[in-house]
Amino acid sequence: MDALPLTRQHHQRLREMHRSAGWPCHDALEIDLLAGGFLQRHFDADARETLRLTDAGIALLARAHQRNRAQRDAHEHLVWCVAQSQLRQGRIAWCGLSLRAPLARDDGGNDWVLANPDVFSIRRSSRADWLEPVVHEIKVSRADLRSDLRQANKRAAYLAMAGAVWYVLGRDARGRAVGDADDVPPECGVLADTPEGLRLLRDAPRRAVPALPHHVWMALAQATPAAPDEPVQDLL
């Protein structure tokens, strides 16, 4: 059954069927899942058709859930490692922020994009022009990396809010690197997660950025910075 080339869309459809009344869509995804034995058809007394997951479909969802959980655990661990590295450099770091960034249009106006950097950090400074905001985006899946790199507006939003943007490339469930420096556009730096720690693959270009706008300060004020894993001396 697993010989079928199932994709993330197939898994998503199975989850939708499991949570719903099972009304059929009659599309190609459904045909694949029926042919693979992951769905089965049911007819009520009025000949109305519904779909139900088979035991094989439930088992497939369970395996997909385990893989996703392992990826989430790996992602969260690498986010924590990056945040700790920023703290050791004397910076203040936040994880999982939602920040709005303006992207200029050809007509002179702005489109506002919501960005969620994995790690956002600034220097400890009372001077707005010394903050040096930095974004780190963490990837532990090749598919996630490729999907992210296709989102030009998301990357532009990161570049608009930070003086340097880094991609941190982890390893997949088989221990393979999810990418290298050639996969990432040159306007971003690249770090690789290795058993020895984070390794520099390409430095991030530094750019001067305007002072952080009011809405960013409000988001930072409402969020809790990352805490160090061990006591550190307060920087003056």
Residue-wise DSSP of 129-160:
GG---EEEEEE--HHHHHHHHT-HHHHHHHHH
Do residues 204 and 113 both lie within one domain? yes
| Mean pLDDT, rounded, of the chain | 87
Task: List 192's β-bridge partners, or say none.
Answer: 169, 199
The CATH number of residue 155's host domain is 3.40.1350
Q: pLDDT grade, residue 135 (50/70/90)?
A: very high
Q: How many CA atoms lie within 13 A of 67 on its CB side?
A: 12
pLDDT tops 80 at residue 141: yes
What's the chain's Rg over C-alpha atoms? 22
The residue range of the domain holding 161 is 71-222
Do residues 31 and 147 both lie within one domain? no
pLDDT at 175: 82
pLDDT at 19: 85
pLDDT tens column, 95-130? 989 988 878 788 878 888 888 999 999 999 888 888
Q: pLDDT grade, residue 234 (50/70/90)?
A: very low
Q: pLDDT grade, residue 235 (50/70/90)?
A: very low
How many separate domains does the chain show? 2
pLDDT at 230: 58
Do residues 75 and 29 both lie within one domain? no
Closest by Cα among 206, 34, 43 to 133? 206
pLDDT tens column, 175-232? 889 999 999 999 999 999 988 889 999 999 998 887 788 888 898 999 999 988 755 4
pLDDT tops 90 at residue 145: yes
Do residues 143 and 172 both lie within one domain? yes
Helix (H, G, I), strand (E, B) or coil at 213: coil
pLDDT at 68: 64
Decide if 209 is inside a domain: yes
β-strand pairing of 197-202 with 189-194: antiparallel
pLDDT tens column, 42-83? 999 988 999 999 999 898 888 877 776 655 688 888 999 999
